[in-house]
Amino acid sequence: MKDVYLLGATGSIGKQTIEILRENKNAFSLKAVSCFSNIELLKKIIKEFKPKYACVGNIKDKEDLEKEFSDIICFSDEEGLLDLVTSGGDGGLLVNAIVGIAGLMPTVKAIEHKRDILLANKETLVTAGKIIKDLVKKNNVKLIPIDSEHSAIFQCLLNSKNEDVESIIITASGGSFRDKTREALESVTLEDALCHPNWSMGKKITIDSATMVNKGLEVIEAHYLFDISYDKIRTILHKESIIHSMVEFVDKSIIAQLGNPDMRIPIQYALFYPERKNFFNIKSLNFLEVKNLSFQELSFKRFPCLELAYFCGREEGIMPVVYNASNEAAVKLFLEKKIKFIEIEEIISKAVKSADNILNPSLDVILETDKLVKENIYNMYEVKR
C-alpha cells in the first residue's frame, strides 16, 4: 500500500488521478490532498478518501474545512502547501498536478522527504530543472513524468543508453488555432482559444497549446528530464495526437508510443510504474478508424513562442524562468480578457529580450525572478490601460 500526496486534486489531472485511485483503494492510500479554491470538490474527495492532511488556498476555506472535518489536519496558502508536503514521515508518492510555478517548492520539499515524484507540473522542471535533477539524484527518489509526450519518451527510452539516442521527436497537436494564419489570430477570442481539438485540459495549458508555449515548455522539460541537448530535441505537428512522441536511435531506428488521447493512460503508467494496468477498459487504438497519421513542420515563423523556448533553454540560467513567468502573467491577463490573444507572445518576447541572464540561479533567485517579471508585466499593463 503506497501513500499518495496529491497536489491540485481538483484540476483536470487531479480529477483523473482520483478516478484511478478510486479503482485502486487496495494499492494506494490518499494521505494528503490540496486545491486552490474549489473547496466543494475537495470536501467530496475528503469524504470519500479520508486523507490525514488537506491544504486550501486561503485561511477562510481552511477554517471552513476544520469545522466540517475535525479529524484531519488542515493547512492554507503557499506555506501551508509546504507543511502538507512535509507532514507524515518520509516516503510515498507525490503527484504534482498544480498549475504554474506554485508547483516548484512543494516538489523540492517532497524530494527532500524521499517521496517519488509523479510530475504533471512541467513548470517545476522548466524553472529549476538542474536543481530538481540534482535533488532527485541526491535523495535517490524516482521522477516519473505524467505529461503525455514525456511519458511516451520515458517509455521509448527504457533500457537504452543516452549515447545511443540520435534525437527525440516531440509531437504537437497544434492547439485551437493550428489551422489559422497569423493574421487571423488578431481577432480570435478567449472562447475560441479554450476549444482544444483533441484534449480536455485546464484553462492555462489549453491557452499554452494555442500559443505553442506548451510545446516550448515541453522542450525545456525534456532537456532536463532526459538529459538531452536542445540540438537533439525536435518537434513536429501531428494533428491526430495518436503518436505521443518518439525516440530516434543512432542506428536510425525509431521507437514511438501510440494510443488514444486519454491522460489516464500516462497517469496510470506513472502510478504503477514499472507495472502496467488498465482499470477503465480504455479503448484499444483502432488503426482502421484512425486511417491517417499526418505530420507537418512546426514553423518558428508561425509559432514564435516555440523558437523563444529553444532560445531561453539554450541560454539556461534564469531565461527559462523569464519565459515561464512572462507566459503565466500574460495568460492570466488573457483569461481575464484584459489583453488580446496575440499580445501573449508580444509580452513573452519583450520580457525575454529585456532580461539580463543570471547563470546557475539558486531557488531564491528563481522565485525572485518569477515575481519581478510578473510584477513588471502587471505594472506595464496598468500603465497601458
Q: Which residues bind ligand NDP (CB under 6 A)?
A: 8-14, 35-38, 97-100, 102, 120-123, 147, 199, 201-205, 263
Residue 356 Cβ vs ligand NDP, minimum distance, rounded to whole Å: 27
C-beta of 10 vs 148, nearer to Mg ion: 148
Nearer to ligand NDP, 47 or 353 (CB): 47
- Specify the residue, 170 or 329, whose C-beta has the smaller distance to Mg ion: 170
Cβ 291 to ligand NDP shortest distance, Å: 25
Interaction between residue 3 and Mg ion (CB under 5 A): no
299 CB neighbour count, 10 Å cutoff: 12
123 binds Mg ion (CB under 5 A): no
In the complex, residue closest to Mg ion by CB: 147
* Partner whose footprint covers residue 149, from Mg ion, ligand NDP, none (CB < 5 to 8 Å by kind): Mg ion
Residue 208 in contact with Mg ion, rule: CB under 5 A: no
Q: Give the residue nearest to ligand NDP (CB).
A: 11
Site residues for Mg ion, 135-194, by CB under 5 A, read 147-149
What minimum distance in Å lies between the beta carbon of 151 and Mg ion? Answer: 9
To the nearest whole angstrom, how small is the minimum distance from the Cβ of residue 363 to ligand NDP?
Answer: 17
Residue 147 C-beta: closest distance to Mg ion, Å: 4
Shortest spacing between CB 206 and ligand NDP, in angstroms? 8
Could you list the residues that contact Mg ion (CB under 5 A)?
147-149
